[in-house]
Amino acid sequence: MSRAAVRYAKAILDLAKQQEISDTVFAEMQTIKETVAESKDLRDLLVSPLVKAEVKKSVLKAVFANSSTVTTGLFDVLVDNKRVQQLPDVALSFIALYEQDKGSQVAIVTTAVPLTEVLEKEILAKVKELTGKDAALESVVDENIIGGFILRIGDLEYNASVAGQLAGLKMSFNDTSYVSKL
């Protein structure tokens, strides 16, 4: 998750609290997260440079027609700032921040394949061991990580993905001090 997504989520949570509709916006963010995850067409629309900004705004407002002014305002801001492709990450960040604000936490685990029930229980036990708190588990499937997993709990991230290990290996090969020792 990008820092920008977290900043947008914090701003939306603050605004929702001021207007006393944080529970409503939480439900809307869950709907956004689920709808975008289930619709390849919507995901493609969000990232497409060929689709005009106004079309993206209209589609989001049509798909999420019953949303609060806070959520529709988020659509406007993300589109205007050319960050609409981060909408799913903003929704995930908002959910995590909302849960944290309510006294619980959300652990987001990204894997290359869907989690089994056994693995979910092991991850939740590890989260409790690390943080001392129970957590709700959000599972995200991303084939780009190749294998392994990425675990995010609030601001903490543990990257045990194959893609992350390969990136670390590449950085070590590119380290000039290492090459000069040879």
Ordered by where they begin, the domains of the chain are 3-96 (1.10.520.20), 104-174 (no CATH)
Asked whether the beta carbons of 78 and 27 are under 8 A apart, the reply is no
* 49-72: average pLDDT: 92
- Between the alpha carbon of residue 109 and those of residues 17, 41, 176, the distances in Å are 27, 24, 34
pLDDT, tens only, 172-182: 777 655 555 55
DSSP bridge partners of 158: 151
pLDDT at 86 over 60: yes
Q: What pLDDT is recorded for position 178?
A: 52
> Token pair for residue 177?
């001090």
Comparing C-alpha atoms, which of 113, 70, 116 is closest to residue 94?
70
Residue 154 DSSP label: T
pLDDT at 1 over 80: no
pLDDT at 77 over 60: yes
Least confident among 8-22, 29-43, 61-75, 110-124: 110-124
pTM of the predicted model as reported, rounded to 2 decimal places: 0.62
* More confidently predicted of 135 and 59: 59
* Pairwise CA distance, residues 61 & 78, whole Å: 13
> Token pair for residue 28?
């809307």
* 65-92: average pLDDT: 92
- Between the alpha carbon of residue 138 and those of residues 3, 22, 27, 60, 141, the distances in Å are 19, 20, 15, 23, 10
* Pairwise CA distance, residues 114 & 169, whole Å: 26
Long-range pairs for 20-23: beta carbons < 8 A, 24 or more residues apart: 21/68, 21/70, 22/98, 22/101
